[in-house]
Amino acid sequence: MHITRDQIPNTRRWVVKIGSALLTGDGKGLAREALSSWVQQMADWVLAGNELVLVSSGAVAEGMSRMGWRVRPKTLHELQAAAAIGQMGLIRAYEACFLKRGLHTAQVLLTHDDLISRSRYLNARSTLRTLIELGVVPVVNENDTVANDELRFGDNDTLAALVANLVEADLLVLLTDQDGLYDSDPRFNPQARLISESRVSSSSLDEAAGDSASGLGRGGMLTKVRAARLAARSGAATVIAPGRGDEVLRRIARGERVGTLLTPVDQPEAARKRWLAGHLKVQGSLELDAGAVRVLRDSGRSLLAVGVRAVHGNFKRGEVVSCIDPEGREVARGLVNYGHKEAELIRGHSSREIESVLGYVDEEELIHRDNLVLV
């Protein structure tokens, strides 16, 4: 059963993305009053016992405003300079607003390489999860000052979707300067109707989505639909909502019909397992004892080093390994938390012994159950 509006109040972990046009008042500098309102609503969500990661655009646009540039730069070095200048004001504004509500923030800058490299993917995942557990609100943006290929994720909608996958969010909220997704472009068709709800897999969404009218950001409705499909890989639903609407985040949290709700086909756990099973190439294998095989099959628990009898192959932290039973049959595969050298050293040891063997502990599990799929 896919998520409905009524079920949104029962979700716990959100990723919220705010676009450049909203944050910078269409290029006039940071819209501080609006930013303060969004922060108050996000803070209320967190203080109620929920979890939130904020993905914020606006660094380049704020840098342009500070430098008095009216047209978005075309050269990479100018874009990177604008991002470096604007990021300072952007993060300071968020920090000040969240601190008024008693919440700390953390700046997290990511590049595409951070999310396609398995080891860096796990490092980013561990950092974000730790911040969430500490009650800190991560403020994520692309590291525009060092990224190449013209600032690379393509847009922060895509980044937000990847972060939703990374932290296994229940809901991705994309705040935009539109009321949501219409069945045709409302700028040219006054009869266009708002799509209140749809399955994210519906082919009609591609036809309905149009390009951004803003010269500040890079995303349009089509990128938001694609982002929703990307987020759905790990089971997250997506709401595309009007950022300028009164108390928009509180209304979404109450389950009100605001914006467009795009729902995944699969349940969150099933979607993530399908993603793991279908997109990962095995780099090595771990031979398990009978007890570990039984725990994986019957209890759905994580793989601990104590249950590993042998390590095969040369793999790195974050790569995919196969888990085989004593007869050599594959029973599962997943993202490993240690490279082959470390795995060889800690195999057969309990989790509490890992630090004494390696001198450090990355994770207590060799493969966490969230990153493990039975085959």
Residue-averaged pLDDT of the chain: 86
| Distance from C-alpha of 30 to C-alpha of 53, rounded to nearest angstrom | 20
Provide the terminal-to-terminal Cα distance of the chain, rounded to the nearest Å. 24
What integer is the mean pLDDT of 23-46?
A: 88
| Distance from C-alpha of 4 to C-alpha of 179, rounded to nearest angstrom | 19
Instruction: Give the pLDDT confidence score for residue 198 in this predicted structure.
Output: 92
Query: pTM value?
Result: 0.75
For the chain, the 3-state helix, strand and coil shares in percent, each to the nearest 5, are 40, 20, 40
Amino acid at 370: D
* Cα 285 to Cα 290, 297, 321, 332, distances in angstroms: 16, 17, 5, 10
Q: How many CB atoms within 10 Å of residue 204?
A: 11
| Distance from C-alpha of 244 to C-alpha of 34, rounded to nearest angstrom | 8
Point out the annotated binding site: 17, 57, 144, 156, 176-177
Give 264 or 50, the one with higher predicted confidence. Answer: 50
pLDDT band at 120 (very low <50, low <70, confident <90, very high): confident
Q: What percent of the chain has pLDDT over 70?
A: 87
With b for 16 or more beta-carbon neighbours within 10 A and e for fewer, the 148-163 pattern comes to: eeebbbbbbbbbbbbb
Point out the annotated binding site for substrate: 57, 144, 156
With b for 16 or more beta-carbon neighbours within 10 A and e for fewer, the 49-76 pattern comes to: eebbbbbbbbbbbbbbbeeeeeebbeee
CB 165 within 8 A of CB 141: no
| Distance from C-alpha of 333 to C-alpha of 4, rounded to nearest angstrom | 32
What phi and psi values does residue 291 have, to the nearest 5 degrees?
-65, -40
What integer is the mean pLDDT of 356-375?
A: 89
What are 239's strand-pairing partners? 173, 261
CB 160 within 8 A of CB 55: yes
pLDDT in tens, 271-280: 566 556 655 5
pLDDT band at 260 (very low <50, low <70, confident <90, very high): very high
Residue 213, pLDDT > 50, answer no
Point out the annotated binding site for ATP: 17, 176-177
Give the three-class secondary structure for 4. Answer: coil
Residue 133, pLDDT > 60, answer yes
Enter the tokens of residue 266: 């699969």
Map out the domains of the chain with their CATH numbers: 5-272 (3.40.1160.10), 280-374 (2.30.130.10)
DSSP strand E in 145-274: where? 171-176, 197-199, 237-242, 260-263
Query: What residues have CB less than 8 Å from 332, skipping those under 6 apart?
Result: 296, 303, 322, 323, 372, 373, 374, 375
Give the three-class secondary structure for 372. Answer: strand
